[in-house]
Structure 1
Amino acid sequence: MPAKILSHLSLLLICFAFSSHAKELKIAISQDAPPYVINQAKSGLEVDVITQSLPDYTISFIQMGWGEILGAIERGMAEAEANVHGNNGDLYYSNDYIAFINYAISRKKDQIKINQLKDLVGHHVITWTGAHKDLGPEFSQLFSPGKIGAKNYVELESSQDQVKEFWREDNSIIIIDKSIFSYFSSKDGHSMNEVDIHTIVVPVLTFKMAFKNKADRDAFNHGLRQLCNKGIYEALLKRYSVAPEANICKNLSQ
């Protein structure tokens, strides 16, 4: 066999050896919530950030409700968890890697006046599972179980279900990322012209990844820095039409 062909075969074998030994990583992530998670976690801003931060890994996403992600490692379902807010337990936590731009949204026809968090009390308030822990101490004091606003407050696992509930119930208020709300509302035939946007919650809410193994966390942080340093993160925001305020790179630890 000619030396040139042997050389090509050797290169192919080397490439195959490296690809076949790529570390597999199962990651718990939310159900579809465009533009962050799209098409059963095959694309989307969050999906792309994770996969491009771990180029030497073969990643399998396991989709579940917002409230089910936390604890997926402990239950043996995954080696990493997306959308983690705060550091709890014996896991390894990444730098902030994703940000959601949250607002309180009501229907214009309902003419609801909201100037502070207390104004939400008494309304049918819809948001994601665990939001009463994520949205700050004042929100927690109002909407945690047993608190004054808990009676008409509901947390749902699926972003799509949150939006459907909002449009189904009169005088309701939803707290959600604006891009996610716009996508699912448009899908159901509704327009952003039908709603009022209220800035009363912390608008930019950041999340970390949690990993079972330190080496995987370190690899992710390194890859995330590369996305920021090379301008890839900013390009992904533009690709998915997410507001520049969601760029976590300016706060990334060096």
Structure 2
Amino acid sequence: MNTAHVLASIALALAGPAGAATVSMAFGDNLPPFILADQDAGIEVEVVRAALAYRGHVLQARYLPMGRIPLAFKARTVDAIMMDVGEDMAREGGHYGVAPVVYDNVFYTLASRKLRIRTPQDLQGHSVNAFVGAAARYPAWLQPLVHSRDYVESNRQEVQPQLLALGRYEIVLSDRIIFQYYTRRLQKRQPGFVMPAVDEHSFVHANPDDYRPVFRDAAIRDDFNAGLAQLHKSGRYRAIYDKYLKD
């Protein structure tokens, strides 16, 4: 093989697999431990990055407020978005992938209160702290509360375990993983703090379709799906979760 052929072979090797691309994808701007924008990391980001890398693609994450995510896709300023935020992106030429993560929201109460939450009426007369947009996502459960001073939506989910423990709110609405993550962080920051026993009240079935990524390129979507399946098969998917929850 002559020098020209050697150099060409090296160049192809450095370029990576045929069809490999840099994929710009819009994520929410911060939602620990799923999205840690300042670290370009988090469970959701790492799963997507690893799934794309399975066939040589490189993730370029862009962190945006949730409302701007579908706008970025429609404006063609990104190649993909992590969830459609309720808009049908198929109309915009989008190709839906398999959900890399699913948020499992539940109501938390102190076990000592012995509350039962089985219907929306069970929330009446109680103070509730939820994440921003919760009433819009679960109108049957939360819209009747939005005009009550006992109902608050806040982006500061890091304080939810402490608010519940101190009795500032009787009910907290949070994803299970997010609540566990912030409980662990609280116990690390305050070694003497002990989280009281809590009850989890499931009230809806998490729908993976609500958390599907959307790609402009169907082939990259297919590569992502294949990579995600491999992450599950290899055990690396579970390892990414454990990295953030067992530190």
TM-score, normalized by length of structure 1? Answer: 0.70
Higher strand share: 1
Stretches of structure 1 that go unaligned for 5 or more consecutive residues are 243-254
- 1:1-254 counterparts in 2 under 5 A? 9-18=7-16, 22-38=20-36, 40=38, 42-55=40-53, 56-84=56-84, 88-89=88-89, 90=91, 91-106=94-109, 111=113, 113-116=115-118, 117-132=120-135, 134=137, 139-144=138-143, 148-152=144-148, 153-156=151-154, 158=155, 161-164=156-159, 167=162, 170-188=168-186, 189=189, 193-194=195-196, 196-202=198-204, 204-206=206-208, 207-241=211-245
2:243 and 2:185 map into 1 onto residues whose CA distance is 20
Q: Is the 8 A contact 2:37 2:63 kept in 1?
A: no
Residue identity over aligned pairs, in percent, reads 21
User: Residue 103 of structure 1 contacts residue 197 of structure 1 at CA under 8 Å; is this kept in 2?
Assistant: no
Unaligned runs of 5+ in 2: none
State the alpha-carbon separation in 2 of the partners of residues 205 and 82 from structure 1.
Answer: 15
| Displacement of 1:51 | 0.9
Question: 1:133-158 deviations in whole A, cap 9, x for unaligned?
Answer: 54xxxx422324xxx222244444x4
Deviation at 1:166, TM superposition (A): 7.0
User: Hey, what's the Cα distance between the residues in 1 that align with 2:25 and 2:100?
Assistant: 14
Alignment partners' CA distance in 2, 1:129 and 1:67: 12
- Counterparts of 1:154 and 1:75, CA distance in 2: 33
User: 1:43 is matched by which residue type in structure 2?
Assistant: A
The number of aligned residues is 229
Cα RMSD, aligned residues only: 3.6
Matches of 1:80 and 1:94, distance apart in 2: 10
Q: TM-score under structure 2 normalisation?
A: 0.71
TM-superposed CA distance for 1:122, in Å, is: 4.1
